Structure 1
């Protein structure tokens, strides 16, 4: 097993992770996060309740719950696919440690992340889709795709230019990465708090540049309330407006920084890999803006909302890889 095969397997893993992320978004956006009220089973059964006997048993186990078989299937499909992904990542870690002479810190970290994701998946159910948990679960899913993508780059034998990257380029890429992470977390927070349509017009919000309805009090409470079912959202409307508006403002700041970063990188005479990463990321960045606006203008259609989530994961993978390249180049890590 040579390094190039590990690189290919890692890239396939990154693509498969995008599928799992999309399934998770589909589950969340169709309010199926509690389609199975227990974990790892479903209504006390190993699989979804389908037959009359299974439905009767499920109702006996959870008498106060309305059983929706469609939601249960969506939730269990996501779990099955996530389980397959976990085994796949463990396999990549195994072959990286056993057959490669490269540093295997990243593959091992990926396996640790998979274990954490399994725990977060359980907490998503047991803590009744609490926004803090669901947002973290989503972010770690995107981080899994990102690290698999970076692992693919590492094992593909791509070399970093011997010339150190200019400091101002490092600063701009770092700022882009930090604001992108903040924006992704805000996006997750917007979705999990059902604030995606708190503003129904664009570019204004409620026909105002700064809506008077906005209330920041309680909008970013990470602790939340105990034993509360968050499905459908529990925040007051003003708090939802604050979350949505913050997501827009951060997007605007990120766009300005990103444009400066791309312009700076493309002017570099060397660092071809970095230029390619940032160049390709531009396609996904523009697409993300279009998808975000479309979510508002067309009242959050399911296909666009899922695509918006998946595209954010792709963007995170490319920008994080560019950031990783800059760190290696500037600090001569390798």
Structure 2
């Protein structure tokens, strides 16, 4: 054999080393672990931001800095002190004060941080797309949602707290929480759910649809300051059907506290807004309560189902306390937080029902994960 052609010859070129990519097999477990931590952190921040957004709204801080994205053209209220003092002197009980300015700007800073974290989630999801069952689509939609949410946050200020814009901002925030909960649920192990839990998935979809409608009705109550339109319970103004003006109460294209004609909104309209939210709550509680009661002992569903029952009871308690104690701030924030809790537990149940008969993603062997 010619030594120049022998594979053992020193003159033979060495076999090429396999090319390593930045996201090769050796790095994927670390990237996946980082992605999971990022998802859980962002989910937690989303929930916190919803609670803080309620605090902004309930303390009338939404116009604490009446421009966007800065505060009188500055990055923080520290540089806007002269403007804030001038506004406070002109309207001592108006929407602007140093306290309200800081509340509003902290909310904006947290929203910006949330947006950056969701961008990071989308990037990680894209880098993990080569793994079976690791489509980046949901992370991409979450990124789109947070961008739309940011736009409505800006319009909330520029449209001077227009009820339709503020309510949409609230509903989009809950939708973002739902998406983040779904992302987080995919990364957490749970007990297997029976293969056929009685058409539970369809019922849970209906329950979430009804819940989101109730969230929108509650947002409409809050953004129109109709929480104390009925001061008694179970009646309203001493009647089961008090005088109400639904046409005026649910006119969408109008400013805060007024009609499109410029007239002030009537008490009958505020009563209609409050009465609708109050009574629709019974339908929501009945539907979700029955589902949670049915699943309270079902493997894989028992924990969230029992938590759902507890949250429904808490939500009723905070709602009644809001009426009887005339809208205390802490209870009102808890009521908003309870709504967020119902959304995240409902989405968790829907995720587990959609995986009925299969193991969760976190339990599946690496490389055999499925949605």
The alpha-carbon distance between structure 1 residues 198 and 320, as it changes in their structure 2 partners (threshold 3 A), is same
Q: Deviations over 1:253-300 (max 9, x none)?
A: 1111122212332365xxx22332222222212111111111111100
Aligned residue in 1 for 2:15: none
Please name the residue that 2:245 is paired with.
Answer: 215
Is the contact between residue 193 and residue 301 of structure 2 (CA under 8 Å) also seen in structure 1?
Answer: no
Cross-structure match for 2:286 = 256
* Matching residue of 2:223: 192
Match of 1:183 among 189, 200, 214: 214
2:363 alignment counterpart: none
The whole-number CA distance in structure 2 between the counterparts of 1:38 and 1:321 is 38
Q: Does 1:301 align with 2:328?
A: yes
Structure 1 residue 4 displacement after superposition: 4.8
SS of equivalent to 1:143: helix
Distance in 1, Cα, partners of 2:202 & 2:185: 22
Matched, 1:288 2:315: yes
Aligned to 1:72: 101
| Number of residues of Structure 1 aligned to a counterpart in Structure 2 | 322
Are the equivalent residues in 2 in contact too, given 1:49–1:69 (CA < 8 A)? no
Higher relative contact order (CA 8 A, sep 6+): 1
In structure 2, the residue corresponding to 1:218 is in which secondary structure? helix
2:236 corresponds to 1:236: no
The change in CA–CA distance for 1:283 and 1:166 in structure 2 (over 3 A counts) is same
- Evaluate the alpha carbon distance shift between residue 6 and residue 188 of structure 1 in structure 2; reply closer, same or farther with a 3 A threshold: same
Higher radius of gyration, 1 or 2:
2
Q: Matched residues in 2 for 1:133 and 1:151: separation?
A: 27
- Separation in 1, partners of 2:288, 2:71: 44
Distance of 1:321 and 1:258 partners within structure 2: 13
Pairwise mapping of residues 1-334 of structure 1 onto structure 2 (< 5 A)?
A: 1-49=30-78, 54-55=81-82, 59=86, 67-99=96-128, 101=131, 102-156=134-188, 158=190, 161=193, 163-167=195-199, 169-211=200-242, 213-225=243-255, 234-266=264-296, 268=298, 272-329=299-356, 334=371
Unpaired segments ≥5 residues, structure 2:
1-29, 358-369
Q: Whole-Å Cα distance in 2 between the matches of residues 234 and 255 of structure 1? A: 34
C-alpha distance in structure 2 between counterparts of 1:197 and 1:66, whole Å: 20
1:156 CA displacement? 2.9
RMSD over equivalenced CA pairs, Å: 3.0
Larger helix percent: 1
Q: Cα 1:172–1:69, aligned 2, differ >3 Å: closer, same or farther?
A: same
Structure 2 CA distance, aligned partners of 1:85 and 1:130?
A: 24
State the 1:162 CA deviation: 6.5
Query: For residues 111-140 of structure 1, what are the alpha-carbon distances to aligned partners after superposition, in whole Å with 9 as ceiling and x for unaligned?
Result: 111111110111001111111111111111
Aligned counterparts of 2:31 and 2:95: Cα–Cα separation in 1: 52
- Matches of 1:24 and 1:39, distance apart in 2: 16
Q: Provide structure 1 residue ranges, at least 5 long, that are not aligned to the other structure.
A: none
Shift of 1:93: 1.8
- 1:152: how far off? 1.1
Question: Using the alignment, how far apart are the partners of 2:231 and 2:50 within structure 1?
Answer: 26
Alpha-carbon offset, residue 313 of structure 1:
0.8
TM-score by length of 1: 0.86
Deviation per CA, 1:144-168: give whole Å up to 9, x if none: 222212111112355864713322x
**Equivalent residues of 1:32, 1:72 under 8 A apart:** yes
3-state SS of paired residue (1:273): coil
Deviates more, 1:99-108 or 1:116-125: 99-108
